Chains A and B, each alone.
Chain A
Amino acid sequence: MFHPNEKGFYGQYGGAYIPEMLIPNIEELKKNYLEILESETFQKEYHLLLNDYAGRPSPLFKAQRLSDKYNTNIWLKREDLNHTGSHKLNNTIGQILLAKKMGRQRIIAETGAGQHGVATATVCALMGLQCIVYMGQTDMERQAPNVARMRMLGAEVRPALSGNRTLKDATNEALRDWIANPTDTFYLIGSVVGPHPYPDMVARLQAIISLEIKQQLKQKVGTELPDYVIACVGGGSNAAGSFYHFLEDASVRLIGTEAAGLGVDSGETAASMACGDIGIIHGSMTYLMQNEDGQITEPYSISAGLDYPGIGPLHAHLKDSGRATYMPVTDEESLQAALELTRLEGIIPALESAHALAVLPKMNFKPGDQVVVTVSGRGDKDMKAYMEYFKLTE
């Protein structure tokens, strides 16, 4: 019930609303992805790279001082410790193997915070493939260290100059590139968004997160099932991966946190669930922020990775079915949560991940609860924002 049907619909959400120019590529992917992903050779190569290259399994760390503060048991799923510094590499390792099996030589990607761009540039360097990353110009400025990393890795970073010059606009440019280069190019999407089969494919490649949580929790506390799993949601890939193997376990409460920017009523927000309604964005029917004429609204969040006006169709379905709950978190709340984690546990999280941590004070945990929070990435790329907000240079 939480998997898409063969046309890619989760309930009414998802599908592939794409121009004819993209249909041959999407059809080819649809025909091949499950067979390749489930094949023994793929699984072997994928897991070998996850272990020896990405450094998995990522630790499940008992955050004792944070647990004490909230009088419960808080476990951090440390995706920030992956090679390249976020969960994004789980997906790019999988898709680059798929691209190779499908014989594609030229890899394109979109990126917001630059973490997906870096993870894509990284696997392209590893495999010796050409890499072009589209990134909104606003994001190139606020995530400058990641632009430099991509370039050092040999990728070409092309600025997206339309709209607010953020993730939505970068995704438009990547889709236009794919339309113009239909035969040699693989579009390596960075989240559970876009036309079917991307949302399902990326969810499967991120599902390693929840698979490990189950095993690690069993080993540490004797049960596979936590009471809560909490993750931030931009497009929703780290949340999809964190939820995946718990979807059928009704006792596990699934919480996604979306970026409210300056607040859900401020007009400066990226909270697609709290502020949006149903429509089509980047080939998929889902919740998105739009005006009364169906024009997509420019989003805002301090966090480049969450600064997107839509959300993956799986999450739209989980929301409507009540299986998961989504909570908005403001810039300010996320900054405070980032500082709290840093001071209590010695971990500087990415601004995206700080949006997951920021709901801890709003929950009513019981002392016996087992709470898993996914720390999707590390905060190095956000030092500029932290320095400004916390006046770290004075």
Chain B
Amino acid sequence: MNRLKTLLDTKKDLLSIYFTAGFPQLNDTNTILQALQKAGVDFVEIGMPFSDPLADGPVIQKSSTQALANGMSLQVLFQQLADMRQSITMPVILMGYLNPVLKFGMERFIDQCAEVGVDGLILPDLPYELYHEKYRDLFEARNISNTFLITPQTPSERVQMLDQNAKGFLYMVSSAAVTGATTGLNQFQLDYFNRINAMKLNSPKMVGFGISDRSSYRQVCQYANGAIIGSAFIKMLEESKDLTVDIKNFVASIKG
């Protein structure tokens, strides 16, 4: 049974939160995961920190640097997540760059993902073609879904090709930008959402990058199955004195 597919098939206006593993403190990963589920978030992306996150803006860069300084690594992350399926029922996706994964060993990595109950992956610097050629069989054998990104510049034929090969959802990058909270959506972005909608794709779509508050969340839900919030959440964590309370309030401020 695929948790992610069931969720995407049955529910609308999904809210997904991205956070960096091992931030603010090394052992906050599980606290945050529990608090997010309790607050009613639909699924999460756990960021695997990397020294050189070239698709990320300053907020996620900073959290990654801090997490690495705290001692986070894939080995530590899998230890932290070892028992998560005793309490976490929502889908969990890992997001991160390819180099640490290759160093860990792709096969070993996929095995561990399956073992701890990770549902899917987002590896931004593994383009579809290289995924297909080198790793697809491995992912599919362990039932780990890979997630492809589309952007306002992705040509229609490529969007269609990615749609046909997507197993979970298509990650719609909201604008030409690295990650980082901005306010409001402009006409160019709305035109892009409309264009993609008119293509009547098979895959569910989640919009990410630049979604930061209730209004941007509500707005993109009109065009997609839901939204992913990252930098705005991490900014909140940076200042939080009580993670559980602040996470509850943050999610309520978006969804409530």
Contacts and interface: CB of A to CB of B under 8 A. Distances in A.
Size category, A interface? 20 to 34
B1 interface: no
Contacts of B68: 295
A296 B101 CA distance: 13
Contacts of B104: 293-294
B73 to A, nearest CB: 4
A283 B97 CA distance: 11
B153 A183 contact: yes
Given A181-B176, A280-B125, A163 B99 contact: no
A223 interface: no
Given A17-B98, A181-B176, A182-B176, A296 B51 contact: yes
B126 interface: yes
A363 to B, nearest CB: 35
Contacts of A281: 52, 99
Give the most central of A17, A162, A292, A294: most B CB within 10 Å.
A294
Given A181-B176, A295-B51, A17 B130 contact: yes
Contact of B99 (A7, A172, A294): A294
Given A293-B74, A295-B50, A296-B51, A279 B103 contact: yes
A15 interface: yes
B149 A19 contact: yes
A295 B178 CA distance: 20
Given A162-B61, A172-B52, A290 B148 contact: no
A283 B200 CA distance: 32
Contacts of A317: none
A162 B52 CA distance: 9
B50 A16 contact: no
Interface in A8-27: 15-21, 23-25
A293 B72 CA distance: 9
Contacts of A296: 51-52, 99
A100 interface: no
A181 B102 CA distance: 29
B52 A168 contact: yes
B51 A18 contact: no
A105 to B, nearest CB: 16
B125 A17 contact: yes
B168 to A, nearest CB: 15
A290 B99 contact: yes
Interface string B95-119: 0011111111000000000000000
A139 B100 CA distance: 27
Nearest to B126: A17
Contacts of A282: 54
Interface string B19-48: 000000000000000000000000000000
A197 to B, nearest CB: 15
A180 B125 contact: no
Contacts of A16: 127
Interface in A171-223: 172, 175-176, 179-183
B124 A20 contact: yes
Ranked 6 nearest A-B pairs via Cβ: A294-B103, A294-B100, A20-B149, A19-B124, A295-B51, A293-B73
27 contacts: A16-B127, A17-B130, A19-B149, A20-B127, A20-B148, A20-B151, A21-B153, A23-B158, A162-B65, A163-B52, A176-B54, A176-B55, A179-B178, A180-B176, A182-B151, A182-B153, A280-B99, A281-B99, A283-B125, A290-B103, A293-B104, A294-B99, A294-B101, A294-B102, A294-B103, A294-B104, A295-B68
Interface of B: 50-52, 54-55, 57, 61, 65, 68, 73-75, 97-104, 124-130, 148-151, 153-155, 158, 173, 176-178
